Amino acid sequence: MAAPRRPTLADVAREVGVSAKTVSRVLNEDGPSSPETRERVLAAVARLGFQPNLMARNIRVGGSDTTVGLVVPDLGNPFFGTVAGGIEDTVRDRGLTLLMGSSADDPAREHALTRTFLARRVSILMIVPSVGADHSSLRTQRSAGLPVVFLDRPGARLATDSVVSSNRSGAYEGVTHLIAHGHRRIGFLGDLPVKLYTRRERLAGYRSALADAGLPLDRALLANAHDEAAAAGATRRLLGLAAPPTALFAGNNMLALGVAAELARLGRKDVALVTFDDVPLAEVLEPPLTVVAQNPAELGKAAAATALRRLDGDRSRARTVTVPTRLIPRGSGEIPGPARTR
């Protein structure tokens, strides 16, 4: 059973007895066509099961593929999945499809994926940049008209559009919330690596919240972790200090899980906690988790909208869109601190 070659436009044309161009016209509702040939063409298309080859079409028509190339650190992280969903929702009726790959936050893998996407001639390129990645090589593409958008974090050495969360003010709001409830020693659990944009921004928010409240910055209260287990360990360490914090601020959803789990294991319901990023079951924890929620779907939508405008010819200078975060008080952040309980 030899695989029968897929039917082409020419096959349909031969079947009907017209030229390929006529078939093309009918299918794309391009120029005029007599109702009769139209009907015969459509019949033949159905009979043969013909499906136009999009690659061939794209290569002829514009040169670029009708896809959005998206590089994320991790496909399994629902944050990025939701971002992707927001992008898809926005570009779907422009006929664009999502081409996705994960970088594992490795600049080399990110670069390889980017190259593949460029080789595929994606219509839009979106990247959640890895720490240490250099994006200067995209400059040519960008000035040649390819919309490039950085997501969640700005890229390096390339002036282009970015869409990020209000990391700094969100963290500021979360920490200020803790201060308002009487806490004066607040532990900060940050992402790794320490150069990571989101970590730096959130830490900056933490610092200015302390400063604005006239509280000193105690470096002993700063900790780092890049996974749940490490976050749990860091939590233990912080709480074991001679002068321990009475509240904690966790820098992302992964860390939130680790910290919340460790507090539960330790039975420390007296320690206040606010986390950056919402997590499932946050309301069910005891106490329910107070969070600074991001809006990943909106992040994706904003990025897609920006890119589509570029595609439509917007040549204005690079913009950074900031998607607001939202403090959701649920209980863990309202546990009173010494300045209140006293």
Q: Interior CA angle at 249 toward 244 and 251, to 5°? A: 130
Q: Are 166 and 205 in contact (CB under 8 A)?
A: no
SS3 8: coil
Nearest residue (CB) to DNA, 116 versus 208: 116
Residues engaged in binding DNA (CB under 7 A): 5-6, 8-10, 17-22, 24-25, 27-28, 30-34, 36-38, 50-53, 56-57, 59-61, 63
Q: Measured in whole angstroms, how far is the alpha carbon of residue 4 from the centre of its chain? A: 42
Nearest residue (CB) to DNA, 60 versus 342: 60
Nearest residue (CB) to DNA, 65 versus 277: 65
SS3 124: strand
DSSP letter string, 164-219: EE-HHHHHHHHHHHHHHTT-S-EEEEE-SSTT-HHHHHHHHHHHHHHHHTTPPP-G
Smallest distance from DNA to CB 135, Å: 22
Nearest residue (CB) to a copy of itself, 132 versus 287: 287
Q: Which one of a copy of itself, DNA, none is in contact with 46 (Cβ closer than 5 to 8 A by kind)?
A: none
Q: Which one of DNA, a copy of itself, none is in contact with 145 (Cβ closer than 5 to 8 A by kind)?
A: a copy of itself
Nearest residue (CB) to DNA, 51 versus 316: 51
Smallest distance from DNA to CB 133, Å: 25
Nearest residue (CB) to a copy of itself, 36 versus 286: 286
Residues engaged in binding a copy of itself (CB under 8 A): 1, 3-4, 6, 49, 51-56, 58-59, 63, 65, 67, 74-78, 80-82, 84-85, 88, 97-102, 115-121, 140, 143-145, 257, 260-261, 264, 279-281, 283-286, 296-297
HSE value, Cβ hemisphere, 13 Å, CA-based, for 303? 35
Q: Which one of a copy of itself, DNA, none is in contact with 224 (Cβ closer than 5 to 8 A by kind)?
A: none
Whole-number Å distance between alpha carbons of 202 and 196 = 10
Q: Which one of DNA, a copy of itself, none is in contact with 264 (Cβ closer than 5 to 8 A by kind)?
A: a copy of itself
Smallest distance from DNA to CB 147, Å: 19
Smallest distance from a copy of itself to CB 97, Å: 6
Smallest distance from DNA to CB 127, Å: 23
Which pairs from 208-215 meet CB under 8 Å and 24+ separation? Answer: 208/168, 208/172, 209/171, 209/172, 209/173, 209/174, 209/175, 209/176, 209/179, 210/175, 210/179, 210/186, 212/176, 213/176, 213/179, 215/179, 215/184
